Amino acid sequence: MKLSIIIPVYNTEKYLDKCLGSILAQDEKDLEIILVDDGSKDSSSEICSNYELKYDFIQCIHIDNSGPATAKNKGYELAQGEYISFIDSDDELNPKMYALLLDNAMHNDADVACCSYLQIDEVGNKSHEGCTGRDFVLNQEEGLRHLLEKNMIYSQCWTKIYKKSLLDRYHIRFIDGLKTEEDFIFNLEVFMKSNVVTIVDKPLYIYTHRTSSLSREYYISHIQNFLCNMTFRLKLTNDKVKESFPALNEICTVHCLQYYNLMIGRAAMFEYKDTLPYYLQAFEYINSHKRALIKYHGKCGLSMIGALFFIVLSPKYYFKYRKTKIKL
């Protein structure tokens, strides 16, 4: 079997039929679908079971609510495909997505094959349509560079297929319990071990951006866990990638500056004392890389004045400044 598609499902009864319909309509037919009902409270569980009864290439398991990382790992335990895909249960796929990715991956003996995506909001507005339409073959360092720079390779798992033998050889899995940053952390581990990465730069995955998405709800109600997961992500990037790939040192620094700045923006939505340890860690990292901050302030989402404020203001006063920038 060429491909196993693993789909964590949690309270997506409104979208699940469309998602599965887009998989059933794929040009590629040598595949299996593994549905992991993550303790849904709506009719998603019943929908999953009905598809399992109807199609012999669809499996369904039901687990207590554990989060997307654990659900993906549970699905992986059942996977038999040469390549693995993880997708969200409220999105859709272009009918050619898996045929193109698999053809590209197998032709180049790739460890990972990637595509781009089309983002649609809940009222139908489209974005992220600027793709080259070309195919690319990258070595290990080039693949990591593209991932860190978000250049045709994105942090989400759903735009990729992964060679199962690579994941098994290095026992790469998601960190159980994570509800944010699990995809990037997984991809970083994968790309550090991948000798060949291919890109089909076409918008083959259709991602619907919903204001009530799990990640948004999670960081608002569990801000400290969100910041903790982000800190772990950045420590992994700063330590492991810089050690193993010194040529990517500057790119790693810029990546960390971008996301530590994002952390500070998130932290400023709350009270100073509530996010203090993570805020101070982010502030300290940015302050210790002043030259890079000034040089790449635009890439980090800051104006030159905003970058200078990092340098001249104390942590507490900078926090107050960032609070004034929050749009209510």
Residue 328 has pLDDT above 50, yes or no: no
Q: What percent of the chain has pLDDT over 90?
A: 81
Task: Compute the average pLDDT of residues 223-227.
Answer: 84
Which residues, in sequence order, are CB contacts of 151 under 8 Å at separation 6+?
145
Task: Give the domain-ending residue among 161, 183, 214.
Answer: 214
Whether 156 and 44 share a structural domain: yes
pLDDT in tens, 36-74: 999 999 999 999 999 999 999 999 999 999 999 999 999
Whether 202 and 282 share a structural domain: no
- Total domains, the chain: 2
Task: Compute the average pLDDT of residues 202-230.
Answer: 76
Mean residue pLDDT across the chain: 93
CA triple 93-94-98, angle to 5 deg: 80
Task: Give the domain-ending residue among 179, 194, 214.
Answer: 214
Residue 247 has pLDDT above 50, yes or no: yes
Whether 167 and 203 share a structural domain: yes
DSSP H or E segment with residue 31? strand 31-38
Confidence of residue 215 (pLDDT cuts 50, 70, 90): low
Which residues, in sequence order, are CB contacts of 8 under 8 Å at separation 6+?
36, 38, 68, 71, 72, 75, 86, 88, 89
Residue 213 has pLDDT above 70, yes or no: no
- Tokens read off for 117: 């995506």
pLDDT of residue 58: 98
Whether 165 and 265 share a structural domain: no
Confidence of residue 226 (pLDDT cuts 50, 70, 90): confident
Rounded Cα–Cα distance for residues 54 and 27 (Å): 20
- Tokens read off for 239: 């330590």
**Interstrand relation of 160-163 and 112-121 (parallel, antiparallel or unpaired):** antiparallel
Whether 190 and 260 share a structural domain: no
Query: For residue 181, how far is the Cα from the chain centroid?
Result: 7
Residue 130 has pLDDT above 80, yes or no: no
Rounded Cα–Cα distance for residues 200 and 101 (Å): 7
Whether 97 and 127 share a structural domain: yes
Task: Give the domain-ending residue among 214, 247, 266.
Answer: 214
Whether 189 and 241 share a structural domain: no
Range of the domain at 307: 222-324
Coil, strand or helix: which one is 174?
A: coil
